[in-house]
Amino acid sequence: MKKFTSLFLIGVILLVFGSVGFAAPAAPFTDVMVYAVGSEQYGDYEYIDYNQFTTLEDHGGTPFYIVTADFGYSRQSSRIAKLNGIKLNLVYTDYVDTNGDSIVDVFLYYWDASGQTGGNFTYQATSENYPWNTYSDSIIIK
């Protein structure tokens, strides 16, 4: 019985410590951008260049999604997306590992603007960790 108890305890210890994973540090929060705009009116996603200030195509209708990109980890409660001053709802999140190191580098957030016809879109987010940087981007959607 003593041998069984010892083997059982060793098994439990190996199970507990063998399943503990060590997380890599969170990617620092370095920037945000408007990544894409997709709508019924345009019929597809228009991908936005980093320094683009307006969409090239007209957008609107249902569905109508605006995709933002966070480079690094932002605080969930800090993300604010607005179209013409109206706060949009987050409907989907996607993750991108840009360099193959199994650490998420870019988070894509899909904001629902269905039923609207374009205008001034603004987005801002704040870092999850020190120094709690806040970044923002905006675009005029035709």
Instruction: Please give the Cα distance from 135 to 2 (Å, whole number).
Output: 61
Q: How far is CA 73 from CA 50, 79, 110, in A?
A: 19, 11, 16
Q: Per residue in 51-103, pLDDT tens?
A: 999 999 999 999 999 999 999 999 999 999 999 999 999 999 999 998 988 88
Quick one: DSSP state of residue 57?
S
Reduced to 3 states, what is the DSSP secondary structure of residue 125?
A: strand
- Asked which of 22-26, 40-44, 62-66 is least confident by mean pLDDT, the reply is 22-26
Please tell me the pTM assigned to this model.
0.81
Residue 102, classified by CB atoms within 10 Å of its CB into exposed (0-12), middle (13-18) or buried (19+), is exposed
**What tokens does 56 get?**
């090239």
Reduced to 3 states, what is the DSSP secondary structure of residue 20?
A: coil
Q: Residue 108's pLDDT is what?
A: 98
Interval 8-37 mean pLDDT = 64
Instruction: Please give the Cα distance from 111 to 96 (Å, whole number).
Output: 17
The DSSP-derived string for 62-75 is SSEEEEEEEES-B-
